[in-house]
Amino acid sequence: MPGGCARFTYVHMTAPLIDPFARAITYLRVSVTDRCDFRCVYCMSENMTFLPKKELLTLEELDKMCSTFVGLGVEKLRITGGEPLVRREIMTFFQSMTRHLDSGALKELTLTTNGSQLERFADALYAAGVRRVNVSLDTLDDKKFADVTRWGRLAQVLKGIDAAQRAGLRIKINAVALKGFNEEELPRITEWCAERDMDLTWIEVMPMGDIGNEDRLDQYWSLEDVRSTYEQHYTVTDLAERSGGPARYVRLEESDQKIGFITPLSHNFCESCNRVRLTCTGELYMCLGQEDMADLRKPLRDHPGDPRALEEAIRAAISLKPKGHDFDYSRQRADGQMSRHMSHTGG
């Protein structure tokens, strides 16, 4: 494939990935870049120093990594960043992953994005087999959107969502719950999602990375409080449904709307964790809330013709997957704070 991803074939002939706590690893989140065209206040500092391009996995290397994981039983692949759609020629990577969907080995290829580039890429994403996209959007107020993203424009994101829905993509809105910022917008955001037939998931802000003057404790709005707010206006029913990710869901009976809660702090989801995260530099994090990681780039580059070396490195990493993370705000400080940025690990 000139200018794009060379096709890498990995034949699944071995046992699936099982961690020390008998959890099957079937979900891989892949950060394809640490770069982003926004500078969201809870994610990164305004004056970020990004990784040198030579440190990033090439698109061909990303193909080899993901294909190896698919060969080991990963069925869901979520592409993240940074902002994944700002990586040059990223659509060639999506197109290369289509073959795993066609074979049936990969059940879902999906994307998390800030929405800024969706107007440009929505049709191509659908053609590559993507059917669901998560869009990060914390406010419907133009000024507040500019404040929280620093560099973003709300109108551009809304146009992207329109284009994605026209292309046939199912959209879910991910909103970070920020105290004193979008509390009063909860009814408006909820109603807007219902009108557009989009699911909505609220996420607790997580203590990751040095973000300058921003205080994570000041930003923290517990999703227990978010749920209580819903219960003041709706009949809230718990759902048993799980999407393969960390969210727990409820239904608002009056609007028949599904709302998700991702609560790494007030109620963690570690007992059912089936996922690992691959960074754009080839580091595999077995837990979002732990610093332990495995370098997969080295075996990939040191043994380009021998997929067994990469497989062995992956299996060794999974054998070290911890039972859970250490995020905790309960003592009025951001315990378990990670030094790395979310844009490096992937959302």
Instruction: Give the list of residues 6+ apart from residue 247 with CB closer than 8 angstroms, or none.
Output: 201, 260, 261, 262
Is residue 102 within a helix (H) or strand (E), and if so which, with residue range?
helix 90-103
Greater model confidence, 159 or 340:
159
Give the DSSP letter of residue 285.
Answer: E
Tell me how long the chain is: 347
Query: For residue 301, what pLDDT band results from cuts at 50, 70 and 90?
Result: very high
Give the DSSP letter of residue 20.
Answer: T
Total tally of structural domains belonging to the chain: 1
Whether 1 is in a domain gets the answer no
Query: For residue 124, what pLDDT band results from cuts at 50, 70 and 90?
Result: very high
Preceding peptide of 82 cis, ω within 30°: yes
Handedness of CA 9, 60, 127, 26 (dihedral sign): positive
Distance, in Å, from the CA atom of 222 to the CA atom of 330, rounded to the nearest integer, reads: 11
Whether 136 is in a domain gets the answer yes
Model pLDDT, residue 207? 56
Model pLDDT, residue 334? 43
> Average per-residue pLDDT in the chain?
86
Greater model confidence, 338 or 7:
7
Model pLDDT, residue 326? 53
Query: For residue 221, what pLDDT band results from cuts at 50, 70 and 90?
Result: confident
Whether 2 is in a domain gets the answer no
What are the distances in angstroms from CA 225 to CA 18, 204, 267?
35, 11, 12
Handedness of CA 168, 204, 20, 316 (dihedral sign): positive
Q: What would the pLDDT profile of 127-151 be if each residue is shown by its tens digit?
A: 999 999 999 999 999 999 999 999 8
Query: For residue 6, what pLDDT band results from cuts at 50, 70 and 90?
Result: low
Greater model confidence, 268 or 283:
283
Model pLDDT, residue 14? 67
Contact 271, 202 (CB under 8 A): no
Nearest one of 211, 152, 207 to 176, comparing CA atoms: 207
What per-residue string of b and e applies to 92-113 under the rule 16 or more CB within 10 Å gives b?
Answer: bbbbbbebbbeeebbebbbbbb
**Which domain CATH number covers 109?**
3.20.20.70
Instruction: Give the list of residues 6+ apart from residue 208 with CB closer than 8 angstroms, or none.
Output: 337, 338, 340, 341, 342, 345
Whether 208 is in a domain gets the answer yes
Model pLDDT, residue 39? 84
Instruction: Give the list of residues 6+ apart from residue 28 with CB closer than 8 angstroms, or none.
Output: 66, 69, 74, 76, 77, 78, 275, 276, 277, 278
Does residue 339 have a pLDDT over 80? no
Contact 258, 237 (CB under 8 A): no
Whether 158 is in a domain gets the answer yes
Residue with tokens 């059940």: 107
Give the DSSP letter of residue 190.
Answer: H
Whether 283 is in a domain gets the answer yes
Whether 193 is in a domain gets the answer yes
Whether 71 is in a domain gets the answer yes
Model pLDDT, residue 263? 81
Question: Angle at the Cα of 176 (from 195 to 86), degrees rounded to 5?
Answer: 90
Does residue 214 have a pLDDT over 70? no
Model pLDDT, residue 336? 43
Quick one: tokens of 222?
Answer: 């517990």
Model pLDDT, residue 234? 94
Structural domain range at position 61: 27-324+335-345
Query: For residue 206, what pLDDT band results from cuts at 50, 70 and 90?
Result: low
Q: CB count, 10 Å around CB of 315?
A: 14
| Mean pLDDT, range 309-336, rounded to an integer | 72
